[in-house]
C-alpha cells in the first residue's frame, strides 16, 4: 500500500507539472479559437517550428533553449500577424472563414510538416540543457527539472498574458472583438487590427511552447498531430476564453493521463482523459470556467 500511495502521489505531482506544459501549448488556441473564433488547427505546427528553431539556434550558439524561445517571441509574433492577414483577405473578408478557413490551416499544418521532413528528415531532434536530466526530490516525490522549469515559466507567461488582456486597452479590445465588433468600432478600434494583434500573440506563444516541448521530449515532424485533439479539448474544457479555466483543465487532463499511465499503462491514458472530458462536459457543458 505504501508503494501504491507513493506512486499515486508521484503521478499526481507529475500530472500537475505536465499540465503546466499543456497550458503553454493551449494558451494560443484559447486566444485564436476561444476569443477570435478561428479554428487554427495549425497551432501544433507553429509549436514544432518553435522546437526546431530551438534546435538549430542552440546548435550554433549553445544558448539555453528557453532563452531562445524568449528571443524568438517577436519573430513568431510577426509570423502570426502575417498568417492572419493572409487568412483575412483570403477567407474572412469574403465570409468564408468556416470550412474554407479550416482547410487553410490544415494546409498550413501539412506544408509545415512536409517542410520539416525535407529539411531535417524523420529523425528525432533534441537539445541539451543543465536541467533536462536532474530530478529534485522532496521526500518520496520526484520533481524532474525538465518538467518543473517549463511548468514555472509557463505559469509566468500565462500570468503576464492575463494581466495584459485585463489591464490594457488592446487586451480588453481582444476580449471584446469576438463579442461585438461594431461596439469596438464605435470606440475607434479597428476589429481587423485587433484580431491581427491577437493572432500574432497566439502564434508568439508557440515560440516558448516549442522550447518547452523540445526540453520535455525529443521531437520529429509528425509529433504535432498528438497534440491537436488534446489542445482543443483543454480549451473547450476550460471554458473557451478563460485562462484560469484553461490552466485548471490542462492540469486535470495532465493528472488523469499521468495517473492512468502510471497504474494502467500509457496506451490507456488518452482514452481515459477524453472520457473524463466527455463526462465533465456532460455535467457542465460550458466548461470549467464557462458562463
Mean pLDDT for the chain overall: 88
Mean pLDDT (whole number) for 128-135: 90
- pTM higher than the cut 0.75: yes
Residue 53 domain flag:
yes
Give the C-alpha separation, 36 to 50, whole Å.
Answer: 22
- How confident is the model at residue 19, as a pLDDT? 94
Q: 146: Cβ–Cβ under 8 A, 6 or more apart, which residues?
A: 129, 131, 132, 133, 215, 216
Residue 146 domain flag:
yes
Mean pLDDT (whole number) for 150-177: 91
Residue 291 domain flag:
no
pLDDT band, very low/low/confident/very high, at 175 (cuts 50, 70, 90): confident
66 is written with which cell numbers?
Answer: 528557453
Hey, CA dihedral for 160, 166, 168, 169, is it positive or negative?
Answer: positive
How many domains in the chain?
1
Residue 288 domain flag:
no
Give residue-wise pLDDT tens across range 59-95: 999 999 999 999 999 999 999 999 999 998 888 777 7
Residue 289 domain flag:
no
Give residue-wise pLDDT tens across range 22-63: 999 999 999 998 888 888 999 999 999 999 999 999 999 999
Domain harbouring 271, CATH code: 1.10.3470
Mean pLDDT (whole number) for 123-132: 92
Which of 157, 144, 127, 119 is closest to 28 using CA atoms? 157
Residue 62 domain flag:
yes
Q: Answer yes or no: is pLDDT of 3 > 60.
A: no
Give residue-wise pLDDT tens across range 266-281: 878 778 777 877 887 7
Residue 167 domain flag:
yes
Q: Answer yes or no: is pLDDT of 181 > 70.
A: no
Residue 290 domain flag:
no
Note down the domain range covering 137. Answer: 2-283
- How confident is the model at residue 2, as a pLDDT? 43
- How confident is the model at residue 31, as a pLDDT? 93
Which of 227, 247, 228 is closest to 237 using CA atoms? 247
Q: Distance between alpha carbon 264 and the CA centroid of its chain, in Å?
A: 27
Give the C-alpha separation, 173 to 168, whole Å.
Answer: 9
Amino acid at each position: 500500500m505504501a508503494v501504491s500511495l507513493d506512486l499515486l502521489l508521484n503521478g499526481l505531482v507529475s500530472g500537475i507539472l505536465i499540465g503546466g506544459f499543456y497550458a503553454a501549448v493551449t494558451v494560443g488556441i484559447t486566444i485564436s479559437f476561444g476569443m477570435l473564433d478561428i479554428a487554427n488547427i495549425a497551432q501544433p505546427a507553429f509549436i514544432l517550428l518553435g522546437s526546431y528553431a530551438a534546435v538549430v539556434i542552440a546548435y550554433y550558439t549553445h544558448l539555453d533553449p528557453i532563452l531562445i524561445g524568449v528571443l524568438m517571441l517577436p519573430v513568431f509574433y510577426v509570423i502570426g500577424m502575417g498568417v492572419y492577414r493572409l487568412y483575412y483577405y483570403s477567407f474572412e473578408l469574403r465570409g468564408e472563414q468556416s470550412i474554407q478557413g479550416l482547410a487553410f490551416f490544415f494546409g498550413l499544418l501539412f506544408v509545415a510538416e512536409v517542410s520539416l521532413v525535407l529539411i531535417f528528415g524523420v529523425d528525432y531532434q533534441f537539445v541539451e540543457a543543465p536541467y533536462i536530466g536532474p530530478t529534485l526530490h522532496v521526500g518520496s516525490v520526484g520533481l524532474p527539472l525538465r518538467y518543473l522549469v517549463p511548468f514555472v515559466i509557463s505559469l509566468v507567461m500565462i500570468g503576464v498574458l492575463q494581466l495584459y488582456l485585463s489591464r490594457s486597452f488592446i487586451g480588453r479590445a481582444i476580449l471584446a472583438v469576438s463579442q461585438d465588433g461594431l461596439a469596438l468600432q464605435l470606440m475607434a478600434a479597428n476589429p481587423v487590427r485587433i484580431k491581427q494583434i491577437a493572432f500574432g500573440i497566439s502564434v508568439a506563444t508557440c515560440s516558448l511552447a516549442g522550447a518547452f516541448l523540445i526540453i520535455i521530449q525529443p521531437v520529429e515532424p509528425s509529433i504535432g498531430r498528438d497534440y491537436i485533439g488534446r489542445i482543443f479539448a483543454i480549451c473547450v474544457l476550460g471554458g473557451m476564453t478563460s485562462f484560469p479555466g484553461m490552466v485548471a483543465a490542462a492540469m486535470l487532463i495532465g493528472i488523469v493521463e499521468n495517473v492512468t499511465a502510471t497504474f494502467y499503462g500509457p496506451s490507456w491514458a488518452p482514452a481515459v482523459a477524453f472520457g473524463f472530458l466527455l463526462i465533465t462536459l456532460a455535467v457542465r457543458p460550458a466548461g470549467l470556467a464557462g458562463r
